[in-house]
């Protein structure tokens, strides 16, 4: 009887120890919350990227493409295609700087409207746009070494003075 009592106590004690250690070693379930991407935000960012790509390539509307890219960069810094966003933003800034900070448009406005809007508004000065382009392209070169845009970004950075050292600069 004594022997069965001792065996029972030892079994209960070992069971209690195993339950307490199992509850203290909770397994992580799923990926790190900092790396989880919001599917709706990804969809919205992808749509903005497609529109920015259309503005950049077909319409040559560099200001509109730049603004879309800035929206993606500010709203979704973990976007899966951030390398393309940075490339389009940098190239758009460069092309706007070449035109003096003004977006070239087709003249389809009537003379009455043209008189009202005689002074076109500048987005930024050409020097500011070149600096923004350097920051965007430097972020691309530093953060995405395997990107398909890497070589073009390095080539575009050469006349601007080369890539900046990564410090978390954002225009």
Instruction: Quote the CA–CA distance of 70 and 139 in Å, as a whole number.
Output: 13
Q: What are phi and psi of 48, to 5 degrees?
A: -60, -35
**pLDDT grade for 112, boundaries at 50, 70 and 90:** low
Q: State mean pLDDT over 21-26.
A: 53
56-92-49-165 Cα dihedral, nearest 10 degrees = 150
Q: What are phi and psi of 149, to 5 degrees?
A: -95, 0
The residue ranking higher by pLDDT, 123 or 153, is: 153
pLDDT, position 170: 62
Q: State mean pLDDT over 89-100.
A: 93
pLDDT of 110 strictly over 70: no
pLDDT, position 159: 94
Q: Report pLDDT digits (tens) over 143-170.
A: 999 999 999 999 999 999 989 987 755 6
Instruction: Quote the CA–CA distance of 51 and 49 in Å, as a whole number.
Output: 5
- Structure pTM? 0.72
**pLDDT grade for 171, boundaries at 50, 70 and 90:** low
- Considering the domain 39-160 in this protein, what is its CATH number? 1.25.40.10
Distances (CA, A) of 163 to 34, 66, 86, 140, 169: 28, 20, 14, 10, 12
Any idea which residue has 């460069």 for tokens?
Answer: 94
Any idea which residue has 């799923």 for tokens?
Answer: 30
Distances (CA, A) of 158 to 85, 88, 91, 122, 161: 20, 17, 13, 26, 5
Q: Report pLDDT digits (tens) over 79-88.
A: 999 999 999 9
**DSSP-derived secondary structure letter, 118:** -
**DSSP-derived secondary structure letter, 56:** I
pLDDT, position 81: 96
């Amino acid at each position: 009887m004594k022997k069965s009592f001792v065996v029972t106590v030892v079994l209960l004690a070992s069971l209690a120890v195993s339950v307490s250690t199992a509850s203290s070693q909770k397994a992580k379930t799923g990926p790190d919350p900092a790396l989880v991407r919001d599917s709706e935000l990804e969809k919205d960012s992808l749509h903005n990227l497609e529109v920015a790509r259309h503005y950049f390539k077909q319409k040559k509307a560099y200001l509109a493409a730049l603004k879309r890219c800035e929206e993606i960069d500010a709203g979704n810094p973990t976007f899966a295609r951030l390398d393309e966003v940075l490339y389009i933003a940098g190239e758009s800034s460069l092309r706007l700087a070449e035109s003096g900070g003004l977006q070239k448009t087709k003249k389809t406005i009537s003379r009455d409207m043209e008189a009202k809007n005689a002074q076109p508004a500048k987005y930024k000065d050409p020097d500011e746009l070149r600096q923004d382009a350097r920051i965007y392209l430097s972020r691309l070169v530093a953060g995405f070494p395997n990107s398909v845009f890497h070589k073009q970004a390095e080539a575009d950075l050469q006349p601007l003075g080369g890539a900046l050292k990564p410090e978390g600069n954002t225009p």
